[in-house]
Amino acid sequence: MDVFQTMAESRKLFAQLVEQDVRTAIDGRSPGPRNQVADDVNVFGKLNTAMAMAISQQDLDLAKTMFSRCYPAASEYDLKHPGSEIHKGAPTFNMGVACLRSYDFVAAMQFFELAEEETVKTSGQNDWRIFLTDLFDRNFWDTVQAAAGTYPITLYRDFWGEDWGKRSAKRNWWRVSSHSKLLFLINIAQRIRYRQLADQSRFANSKSLAQGYWNLCSDLARLLETDIRRRAKLPAPKPYQLYRLLTQGFAATSIGNVSNEVSVLHATHKVNSTKTFNAAFPSIRGSIENQTLPRLTRISNAVYLFYATRNQVQHNVDRRMMFYRDPETAAFTSDVLLTLCRLDSWAK
């Protein structure tokens, strides 16, 4: 038999045996309430061990397959026994890890949230949050720290005097509003992935990555706009126009009058189209990176780049845009936006 066919048959058999074990355990479970310890061990013990082994070997498809075969059996039990439910926290968390490792970030957050919901239901602790656990820390934030060594954000240290990594990213995540927290997690994972893709393929100048960065910059701009409106020092009702928020709501920040600086920059550059963005970008970037300029000037140029980028990426895709055509420019812009997510340091 061909070695690859043998391998495929072995993986299929392994998944079947795990499913059989879980279904046997479910059939033998007496109707009753959720029990986190008993259900994790007696019902899903073999599945949890098998998924952890598969993930450690980077066999992520096998981990997902085993979960997909076993999870319906637990749902069927819940339907068959009204008032009785099986706790499914461990396998749903493991599925989140498998999705995270395979770069399906929305699916990862979906299953992490499901694991949180399972634990809240079982424990009755309504304030329990999966994203604050050691397990999530090891599987997500430690990856952010590892990637920071390979893909640093040099501007972050330049602006804030602290390296980009687990500690700084977690701090910023804590401080963004609840409306932005999930998007922040997904965005920092996507940033890592796009840099990995460019390295792995040795083909950074692709339309696929250009579109990926376009979406990443759009998402980061949306995240910033969401929290900037909440932080702008303006009486209610606050305006929805980003330009008015920036040029009126940040006149008295901890670093100075950002609003006045942005007004002056707009009067100078007048970015309102792809053509004007491309013309202004080299000057704006030069000011952001120029360490001889005052800190307020550099940060305000970053804020203006955020404003200019947001207006260009939210409404359409234009392949004439500089950061669509130049992957290094796109990576720089996304890093500027991520650096500005340290909102306490300039929007307060």
Q: Are residues 177 and 320 in the same domain?
A: yes
Q: Are residues 195 and 223 in the same domain?
A: yes
Across the range 243-267, mean pLDDT stands at 98
Q: Are residues 285 and 172 in the same domain?
A: yes
Q: Are residues 92 and 225 in the same domain?
A: no
User: Residue 13 and residue 11: Cα distance in Å, rounded?
Assistant: 5
Residue ending a domain, choose from 132, 161, 178: 132
The pTM (predicted TM-score) of the whole model is 0.93
Comparing CA positions, the residue from 242, 231, 245, 237 lying closest to residue 315 is 242
Give the per-residue pLDDT at 298.
98
Q: Are residues 196 and 336 in the same domain?
A: yes
User: Residue 161 and residue 148: Cα distance in Å, rounded?
Assistant: 15
Across the range 179-192, mean pLDDT stands at 97
Q: Are residues 112 and 157 in the same domain?
A: no
Comparing CA positions, the residue from 113, 72, 120, 62 lying closest to residue 92 is 113
In this predicted structure, the answer to whether residue 186 has a pLDDT above a threshold of 70 is: yes
Q: Are residues 271 and 302 in the same domain?
A: yes
Q: Please report which residue ranges of the chain form alpha helices under DSSP H.
A: 3-27, 36-38, 45-56, 60-80, 89-101, 105-123, 134-136, 142-150, 154-160, 166-175, 181-201, 207-231, 242-248, 258-269, 274-289, 295-313, 322-325, 327-340
Across the range 167-181, mean pLDDT stands at 97
The confidence band for 258, taking pLDDT boundaries of 50, 70 and 90, is very high
Q: Quick check: is 145 in a domain?
A: no
Q: Quick check: is 105 in a domain?
A: yes
333, 305 in Cβ contact below 8 A? yes
Q: Are residues 112 and 161 in the same domain?
A: no
* pLDDT tens-digit readout, 290-313: 999 999 999 999 999 999 999 999
Domain span at 218: 152-345
Rg (CA), the chain: 24
Residue ending a domain, choose from 132, 161, 193: 132
Give me the number of domains the chain comprises.
2
* pLDDT tens-digit readout, 40-70: 999 999 999 999 999 999 999 999 999 999 9
Q: Are residues 276 and 328 in the same domain?
A: yes
Q: 217-239 burial, b for 16+ CB within 10 Å, e for fewer?
A: bbbbbebbbebbbebbeeeeeee
Q: Quick check: is 142 in a domain?
A: no
Largest CA distance in the chain: 75
Q: Are residues 77 and 20 in the same domain?
A: yes
Give the per-residue pLDDT at 275.
96
User: Residue 241 and residue 249: Cα distance in Å, rounded?
Assistant: 11
Burial of 186 (0-12, 13-18, 19+ CB in 10 A): middle
Q: Quick check: is 139 in a domain?
A: no
Give the per-residue pLDDT at 3.
86
* pLDDT tens-digit readout, 205-230: 999 999 999 999 999 999 999 999 99
For residue 10, give both structure tokens.
């072995």
User: Residue 185 and residue 320: Cα distance in Å, rounded?
Assistant: 30
Q: Quick check: is 192 in a domain?
A: yes
Q: Are residues 102 and 171 in the same domain?
A: no
Q: Are residues 38 and 80 in the same domain?
A: yes
Q: Quick check: is 113 in a domain?
A: yes
In this predicted structure, the answer to whether residue 1 has a pLDDT above a threshold of 70 is: no
